[in-house]
Structure 1
Amino acid sequence: MTVHGRYTGVLADSPAFDDPFNALPGVDRDAAFVRTNIPVWAASADLAAPASGVAIGARIWLARGDLVTNLAFTSGDTAGVTYTHWWHALYDPDGKLLAQTADQAAAGWAADTTKRLALAKPVPIKSAGWYIAATMSAAATVQTLTGAAPLASTATVHIGSKAAGFTFGAGLGAAAPAATGAQTTAAKVPLVVVS
């Protein structure tokens, strides 16, 4: 027992301060870095797919000192069909590309399947903030995604707030754009797991 109770590490590093950003039951947050943008229990919707070649982004809180190496999204009840390109990417809070996974090209993505992909390079987080995790599929049929479908889809739920989920780009291919550019607010927030 310490003056901080049962936690024996540096108090400022306690995973207790990460809630609700690590809402994954069974994950030992002292042993593995992992964050989610929404609690896994809130991912109760099968989100309509964006158009082919359009990226969908979700804001996720990352803390200074985090090291992001992987992004994971989970498909919903509809599998993708005839892919030409698909990838995940991490953007900074201003929408500038930090890293992308390899283009998965024609590889399939079945229904109800999590695709955890490694970024081309690990991204050290130098300042805390609301980063953007995105995924894009160019396919004859784009897979749906598991996530939350909030009724309040606008970015103005509070003065200065930004949309939790949005789409960007058009006709995207093998490479993620260097910046998100214009973000179209969407009433859908895909579940993303960062590790």
Structure 2
Amino acid sequence: MSQLGLYQGNVRDALAAWDVALPASPSTFYRASLPRFGLYDSAGDAGQAALVDGVMTAVPIKCAAGDVITNVSFVTGAATSGTEANWWVALYSSASTPALLAQSADQLTADVAVNTVKTVALSAPQTITQTGYYWAAIMMHVSAGAVNSLIGTCVARPVATGERNLSVSSGSGLTTTATATLAAPAVKSFAPYVVLT
């Protein structure tokens, strides 16, 4: 067995397929919850809801000490929302019970178009003080109809001891304000593609 365990190939060659999905400049700062390929629209699978009205969906994203997070971006799918009443994004800490670091302004009735990248600024840039997994959250509340679908992927709940959740829901009946913590998160089977910049 090699230093790479059971893998017998050249790691640099194996990662070449990922290279095409990266920014053209290696100095472009971003942190993503998932790779940018192999994703699908949550609207295609009724059993894997990306968002539920008035409930946050949060995904872990690894950040390094010194990163400055200003924006949270996600990609909507083909299923349009009804009448938006409130929607926002938030960033939570890497603590065992993640604490709210910052929330965006409530986007209120601003339209969330289909098949679109939505980039929303946090209330203030957040400087990461400790390398770890932080949680990016998305919440949408509609006054009529359904919430948007999102682009992402199916994920399995943890199996091996110590595995972390890859997507969770938290809160209920949310409107204008994010909860102070991601308390009592419920494991989700769909993880949206989220990017921090």
Give the equivalent residue in structure 2 for 1:130: 133
Partners in 1 of 2:180 and 2:161 — Cα distance? 28
CA contact (8 A) 2:56 2:137 kept: yes
What TM-score results when the alignment is normalised by the length of structure 1?
0.82
> Equivalences for 1:91-170 in 2 at 5 Å?
91-94=92-95, 95-139=98-142, 140=144, 141-150=146-155, 152=156, 154=157, 156-170=158-172
Cα deviation, 1:105-132, whole Å, max 9, x if unaligned, reads 0111011111101110000001011110
The alignment status of 1:28 with 2:25, answered yes or no, reads: yes
Residue in structure 2 matching 1:171, options 153, 164, 173: 173
- Cα drift, residue 23 of structure 1: 8.2
Unaligned runs of 5+ in 2: 1-17, 43-47
Aligned pair count? 171
- Once the two structures are superposed, residues 73-98 of structure 1 have per-residue CA deviations (whole angstroms, 9 ceiling, x without a partner) of 11111111111100000001221000
Counterpart secondary structure, 2:37: helix
Amino acid at match of 2:112: W
Which of 187, 190, 193 matches 1:188?
Answer: 190
Structure 1 regions of 5+ residues with no counterpart?
Answer: 1-20
- Tell me the amino acid that sits aligned with residue 90 of structure 2: A
Cα drift, residue 48 of structure 1 = 2.3
Q: After TM superposition, where is structure 1 displaced by more than 3 Å over at least 4 residues in a row?
A: 21-24
SS of residue in 2 equivalent to 1:68 = strand
For 1:67, the equivalent position in structure 2 comes to 68
> Aligned partners of 1:116 and 1:86: how far apart in 2?
12
- Distance, in Å, in 2 between the alignment partners of 1:70 and 1:179 is 20
The percentage of aligned residue pairs carrying the same residue is 33
Find the residue that maps to 1:170 and give its secondary structure: coil
Mean CA deviation greater in 107-116 or 156-165: 156-165
Cα deviations across residues 120-179 of structure 1 (Å, max 9, x unaligned)? 0000001011110000000131001100112x2x2x322112210011100001111111
TM-fit CA distance, 1:22: 9.5
What is the SS of the residue equivalent to 1:40? Answer: coil
Pairing 1:14-53 to 2, within 5 Å after superposition: 24-30=21-27, 32-46=28-42, 48-53=49-54
